[in-house]
Chains A and B, each alone.
Chain A
């Protein structure tokens, strides 16, 4: 891929680690790329995106301080602070 074709890269943090993703990535994708789960259930099971369309609430994480944000519905923005929960 030529330099011109490469999508813009943006810097975010997930669980206080700096990560670079392509602009236009959803937060759910960024969490998956980081090898993490969005959250842990009451009984300690890992949880991640299921419907990818904002209705199942499985993909929740804390984004810029707002807990229970549906990460499949949010695009990454530069310097976004994402915390799995």
Chain B
């Protein structure tokens, strides 16, 4: 086996897969090392909502940019990726949330992201299974959904077509100073190492401000026509925002098969490998969902699972160089890594190749955060 590469990508989640493709396409000799199967981490656990999200201007810039890259890629995606531009409806329960709808509309429109206000009747018409009456919503028509592990598989396949080597079933035990060491003792030489191991990234790059944040999802049997858009409650940001404590939010996605994917929960958990299902939080998710879709609890669920988001204190990913000139990061994507994988990979490759970037990289540079853990109180300011 060749042991010398221009770039060694650690982790074949959707982020590592996208980075591998960008680097290989630029002519680099690339290896991707994955301990398990492609997309087996957060990528398999995630919802696959490709969404423009406006938690902060930098978040909207990266999600908007990435979403446009998905739109451009979509005609090439194989059917297994189940890409479906179904749009998002942000659901408002009361007039206070309708104010938020109008704020969001103005913000999205200013950023060139198409959106449209739905009044109470238009919302009920668009989604007849929602509770009535609800105040209305914001339709973002060009958001999409996809099946993340197959998307990661497709990106890896394309990287391989551009000459990348996939090292599957190999655990990386150290990665620094231009050398990646595998558990079986193999040493790979790399000019560039990209740590894309998601919530496990601090194990290989100590001191990173990345914490595992557990999330649960429920998938139902097939109910074609039950749901037409991805629905998210406007209170979602409150849930996603809270840096401490457990929270749930109504978030439901139509799959191409007619199945519904019901989310979502957020919990900080000390053990990032413990994926056991917490039935208390699942019950809270279903209760929350029933407020919006009273019929949901009577549908039959097939499976419940959990996974870990890689959370950073400022809710933005870590993309770019570290103090070790050979080590680069592509992690910390929290609940948006499926969406932002393509933008992340493009920004990183642009940086590595000194190409101009489409959006500024600065907000995502790892150097913005001191490299040690802050307490939750400090994070909250």
List residues of A whose CB falls within 8 A of some B CB: 42, 60, 66-68, 85
Contact = CB atoms under 8 A, between A and B. Distances in A.
A59 B367 CA distance: 57
Instruction: Count chain B CB atoms within 10 A of each CB in A66, A67, A85 and give the residue with the most.
Output: A67
B373 interface: no
A67 B257 contact: no
A68 B300 contact: yes
B257 A68 contact: no
Interface of B: 221-223, 257, 298-300
A35 to B, nearest CB: 23
A42 B300 contact: no
Contacts of A85: 222
**Chain B contact surface mostly:** loop
Q: Chain A's interface: helix, strand, loop or mixed, by majority?
A: strand
Given A67-B221, A68-B222, A85-B222, 6 more contacts: A42-B222, A60-B221, A66-B298, A67-B299, A68-B221, A68-B300
Nearest to B221: A68
Contacts of A42: 222, 257
A68 B220 CA distance: 11
A34 B222 CA distance: 24
Nearest to A67: B223
B288 to A, nearest CB: 23
Kindly name the residue among B223, B257, B298, B300 whose own CB sees the greatest number of chain A CB atoms within 10 A: B300
Contacts of B298: 66
A67 B225 CA distance: 12
Contacts of A67: 221, 223, 299
Contacts of A66: 298
Contacts of B223: 67
Contacts of B299: 67
A42 B300 CA distance: 17
A68 B298 CA distance: 11
Nearest to A42: B257
A21 to B, nearest CB: 25
A35 B274 CA distance: 48
- Listed from nearest, the 6 A-B pairs whose CB atoms lie closest are A68-B221, A68-B300, A42-B257, A67-B223, A67-B221, A42-B222
A26 B299 CA distance: 22
Contacts of B300: 68
A85 B257 CA distance: 13
A37 to B, nearest CB: 15
A60 B257 CA distance: 16
11 contacts: A42-B222, A42-B257, A60-B221, A66-B298, A67-B221, A67-B223, A67-B299, A68-B221, A68-B222, A68-B300, A85-B222
